[in-house]
A and B are shown apart, each in its own frame.
Chain A
Amino acid sequence: MEIKDSSIFRGITDFFSSLRLTMFLLITLAIISIIGTIIPQGTLPPEYLQTVSQKRLDFYHAMGFFDMYHSWWFILLLILLSINLIVCSFKRLPGIWKTITQPVLIMDEGLEKTLPNRAIIRSRADSVNLKEQVVAFLKAEFAAPVITEEDGVYHLFAQKSSWSRLAVYAVHLSVLVIFIGAIIGSVFGYKGFVNIPEGNSIDKIMSRSDKEINLGFAVHCEKFSVAYYPNGAPREFKSILTVLENGNPVPGYNRVPVIVNDPLHYKGITFYQSSYGKFGEHEFIISNPDGSNPQPIKVSSGGSVKLPDGSSVTLQETTPDISRFQPDQSGPAAQMNVHLANGEHKTFIVYSNNPVMNRMNISYTGGRLLEYKGGEEFMYTGLQVAKDPGVWIVWFGCTLMIAGIYVAFFMSHRRIWIRVENSTVTIGGNASKNQGAFQIFMDHLQTKLNNQLSAGDNK
């Protein structure tokens, strides 16, 4: 019974430690990750909904395709990859550890045969003298050797960067560290969003999962501004924010400028400049073309006016004084947009004191006369809010990964064994990687040792 159990256990470990599984998981992850780059994720845009059938929509929903990177099957693959990493490491690490901590100190015949870089150097010196010379040479040219004496024969062993054999496990560990950081971030942190009108404060934000979160302090938006390049492209979005504790500004957090790529951090919560817009209310008057039957309408910034014929026009922008843009006009004006029956979008201006011009818009406004009376507007700033206590673990994991990959690829464990007998020095070595470079190094080393020893002989 016990034998059977252990063979099942063996079977499971073999399965989870196999490179085939690694290859399968990496290639499967690469292929199925494509799904989420083609099918929209999260909130589905209405344009997308129009293009797919209900049947397909239901299927995608059932498969979790609209949030595939959090679906059970994607997470399962990541868990399998993690198990694969862990089992592989546990299986191979003890052997590697032994290679590092208990190196083979003596080059016997069996080992000698496996070494591709072997050389025999002859010398007239006796073994003690020879050993002294070779030890000094190795120390100067490579690394200080460990010396073992056996029946008058000296065995020298020297190595470099033995720990580089661990690098690949550090890379594997780093993947797990990044996963742990991501999990901590998603359990103990949140991502959210808040709009703050100029001159207002907020102490709550909405998380992405539509939960209200109390910050425990307040953020006040003093001002929001946009700066432009000469060609009209935006150059800078800037909010001036103040952190308030119990209604009082916190020293050091008073009137802090926050721009894109320069967020505000306070108590582990970070505020990022993300969007902006206008809050405001505008008054319009809608009447018959001759001005009779006037009715006031209130429209919010960016809102729409519903016209009696069922069509609607959208308020795009307003100005308290149109003369800045059209010198021959004056007073407040509003820029409107209408979606015509033929599918065309048309933009037009509604004035406050120019019924003649306003009458030209009648075909866009359902046959009625629209007049702008003015309004009040405030800018608001849109801030992305994030709290992520796991982010430093993720950065640690990333650093470990890059350092690990560097060492794993570009450093190698190099070992040299030397046997010193009377008048004979046998030298051999191997490297865990980059055999070509090691061969050149060994050739160079052997030539140099040969020259030094023969120079000693000739003295």
Chain B
Amino acid sequence: MTSSLLFNITTIAYLISMLCFFSHLATRNEQAGAVGSYTAYGGLLVQTVAILLRWKESYDLGMGHVPLSNLYESVVFFAWTIILIFMFVDLKYRYRIIGAFVVPFALFGMAWAQLGMNSGIEPLVPALQSNWLLYHVVTCFLGYAAFAVACGVSIMYLIATRTGLAEEGKRGAILDMFPPARLLDDINYKSIMIGFPLLTLGIVTGAAWANYAWGTYWSWDPKETWSLIVWFVYAAFLHARLTRGWVGRRAAWLSIIGFVATIFCYLGVNLLLSGLHSYGGK
């Protein structure tokens, strides 16, 4: 058994999970939602084994490093963190429908990684040979994943509060399965409350590492700057909760913008701009 095979099984599991959630959304069949959740959990388990196996395989190849060293490995890990955070939300709030808006992010990541990227295990270049790699990447991606969940929930919020739909009675069959808008707003806020400290920790561990490796904790490298932009957006979101005019739909939009900035920070900077985080280079 290889990690590569297990990653393929994971991808299929997330695909099935997403299809179940969609049919749950379309048919209001409770069982479809339950199967969606359990398939996602199963996929998470298989993926966990796959990541650990890949870690071991790198040692077998004599390179021995944590599987977080290039674009492929980071996208796979991102998918893992999204499903992990989704699992907590699913277990706590028990609104299966949220899966239909969150699992697609993870599936997209896995499908892109498995189909479009070179999955070979590569040796670690000197710049990445540090324990900081693990702390930095894990904190950043857990933060990103929490933002992904917040974004999915914010999209639901925007759908649920569309003018005309908000009033009871006019809600369609699909919207009946949505959690109440207040709860969506709350999950959005709670997810960002989880993501923001993790992002902060990710930026700080990145700065500490940069200082340790290059002697500069901050050099306005595009990646650093974009992480700060994401931090500003979510800091604005958190302060917006304290003011009147910025709750509800505006807060949901801010959360979506924050996630778009997050994705640009993660992928756009590497694929479109140049800088120190070169893993997206080719």
Query: Within the assembled complex, what's the spacing in Å between the Cα atoms of A236 and B208?
Result: 21
Q: Is the CB of B239 within 8 A of A398?
A: no
Q: Is the CB of A236 within 8 A of B201?
A: no
Query: Within the assembled complex, what's the spacing in Å between the Cα atoms of A236 and B214?
Result: 15
Q: Is the CB of A33 within 8 A of B217?
A: no
From A27, A69, A273, give the contact of B220 (CB < 8 A). Answer: A69
Q: Is the CB of A402 within 8 A of B242?
A: no
Q: Is the CB of A34 within 8 A of B130?
A: no
A23 CB to nearest chain B CB (Å): 6
Known contacts A233-B123, A402-B200: does B242 contact A26 (CB below 8 Å)?
A: no
Known contacts A27-B232, A34-B229, A398-B204: does B63 contact A229 (CB below 8 Å)?
A: yes
Query: Within the assembled complex, what's the spacing in Å between the Cα atoms of A29 and B218?
Result: 17
Q: Is the CB of B125 within 8 A of A233?
A: yes
Q: Is the CB of B225 within 8 A of A386?
A: no
Query: Within the assembled complex, what's the spacing in Å between the Cα atoms of A385 and B216?
Result: 10
Centre residue among B215, B228, B229, B243 by max chain A CB count within 10 A:
B215
Q: Is the CB of A261 within 8 A of B130?
A: yes
Q: Is the CB of B225 within 8 A of A37?
A: yes
Q: Which of B220-247 contact A (CB under 8 A)?
A: 220, 222, 225-226, 228-229, 232-233, 235-236, 239-240, 242-243, 246
Whether B126 sits at the interface, judged by CB under 8 Å, is yes
Q: Is the CB of A405 within 8 A of B196?
A: yes
Whether B122 sits at the interface, judged by CB under 8 Å, is yes
Q: Which of A301-358 contact B (CB under 8 A)?
A: none
Whether A30 sits at the interface, judged by CB under 8 Å, is yes
A45 CB to nearest chain B CB (Å): 10
Q: Is the CB of B129 within 8 A of A27?
A: no
Q: Is the CB of A272 within 8 A of B213?
A: yes
| B132: chain A residues within 8 A (beta carbon) | 261
Whether B193 sits at the interface, judged by CB under 8 Å, is yes
From B215, B217, B218, B220, give the contact of A385 (CB < 8 A). Answer: B215
Q: Is the CB of B212 within 8 A of A30?
A: no
From B193, B218, B229, give the contact of A33 (CB < 8 A). Answer: B229
Q: Is the CB of B197 within 8 A of A23?
A: no
| B246: chain A residues within 8 A (beta carbon) | 23
Contact string against B for A residues 1-31, beta-carbon threshold 8 Å, 1 for contact and 0 otherwise: 0000000000000000001101100110110
Whether B31 sits at the interface, judged by CB under 8 Å, is no
Q: Which of A191-240 contact B (CB under 8 A)?
A: 191, 229-231, 233-237
Contact string against B for A residues 27-45, beta-carbon threshold 8 Å, 1 for contact and 0 otherwise: 1011001101110010000
From A27, A30, A234, give the contact of B126 (CB < 8 A). Answer: A234
Query: CB-nearest residue of chain B relative to A32?
Result: B229
Chain B interface size band reads 35 or more
From A20, A386, A388, A405, give the contact of B243 (CB < 8 A). Answer: A20
From B125, B211, B236, give the contact of A391 (CB < 8 A). Answer: B211
Whether B181 sits at the interface, judged by CB under 8 Å, is no
| A182: chain B residues within 8 A (beta carbon) | 218
| B52: chain A residues within 8 A (beta carbon) | none
B199 CB to nearest chain A CB (Å): 10
Query: CB-nearest residue of chain B relative to A232?
Result: B123
Q: Which of B16-57 contact A (CB under 8 A)?
A: none
Q: Is the CB of B226 within 8 A of A22?
A: no
Whether B269 sits at the interface, judged by CB under 8 Å, is yes
From B63, B201, B211, B273, give the contact of A37 (CB < 8 A). Answer: B273
Q: Is the CB of B126 within 8 A of A261?
A: yes
Centre residue among B201, B236, B239, B243 by max chain A CB count within 10 A:
B236
Query: CB-nearest residue of chain B relative to A31?
Result: B229
| A233: chain B residues within 8 A (beta carbon) | 122-123, 125
| A441: chain B residues within 8 A (beta carbon) | none
Query: Within the assembled complex, what's the spacing in Å between the Cα atoms of A317 and B125?
Result: 22
| B204: chain A residues within 8 A (beta carbon) | 398, 401-402
Q: Is the CB of A29 within 8 A of B196?
A: no
Known contacts A30-B232, A37-B273: does B215 contact A270 (CB below 8 Å)?
A: yes
Q: Which of A30-66 contact B (CB under 8 A)?
A: 30, 33-34, 36-38, 41
From A22, A260, A384, give the contact of B129 (CB < 8 A). Answer: A260
Query: Within the assembled complex, what's the spacing in Å between the Cα atoms of A388 and B217?
Result: 10
| A22: chain B residues within 8 A (beta carbon) | 236, 239
Query: CB-nearest residue of chain A relative to B131?
Result: A261
A51 CB to nearest chain B CB (Å): 14
| B196: chain A residues within 8 A (beta carbon) | 405, 409
Centre residue among B213, B243, B246, B273 by max chain A CB count within 10 A:
B213
B252 CB to nearest chain A CB (Å): 16
| B197: chain A residues within 8 A (beta carbon) | 402, 405-406, 409
| B217: chain A residues within 8 A (beta carbon) | 391, 394
Known contacts A27-B232, A37-B225, A259-B126: does B208 contact A384 (CB below 8 Å)?
A: no
Q: Is the CB of B215 within 8 A of A260?
A: no
Q: Is the CB of A386 within 8 A of B216?
A: yes
Whether B207 sits at the interface, judged by CB under 8 Å, is yes
Query: CB-nearest residue of chain A relative to B265?
Result: A37
B233 CB to nearest chain A CB (Å): 5
Whether A266 sits at the interface, judged by CB under 8 Å, is no
A and B contact pairs by CB, cutoff 8 A, 27 listed? A20-B243, A23-B239, A26-B235, A27-B232, A30-B261, A38-B273, A41-B220, A182-B218, A191-B216, A230-B62, A235-B126, A259-B126, A260-B126, A261-B126, A261-B132, A261-B212, A263-B212, A263-B213, A263-B215, A274-B214, A391-B217, A394-B217, A398-B207, A401-B200, A402-B197, A406-B197, A409-B197
Q: Can you name 18 extra interface pairs (CB under 8 A) apart from A34-B229, A272-B214, A406-B197?
A: A19-B243, A23-B239, A27-B236, A29-B232, A30-B233, A36-B225, A69-B225, A191-B216, A229-B123, A230-B62, A236-B126, A260-B129, A270-B215, A272-B213, A273-B126, A391-B217, A401-B200, A410-B193
For the complex of A and B, the 9 pairs showing the least CB-CB separation, nearest first, are A386-B215, A30-B232, A260-B126, A26-B236, A37-B222, A261-B130, A229-B123, A398-B204, A405-B197
B residues touching A (Cβ–Cβ < 8 Å)? 62-63, 122-123, 125-127, 129-130, 132, 193, 196-197, 200-201, 204, 207-208, 211-218, 220, 222, 225-226, 228-229, 232-233, 235-236, 239-240, 242-243, 246, 261, 269, 273
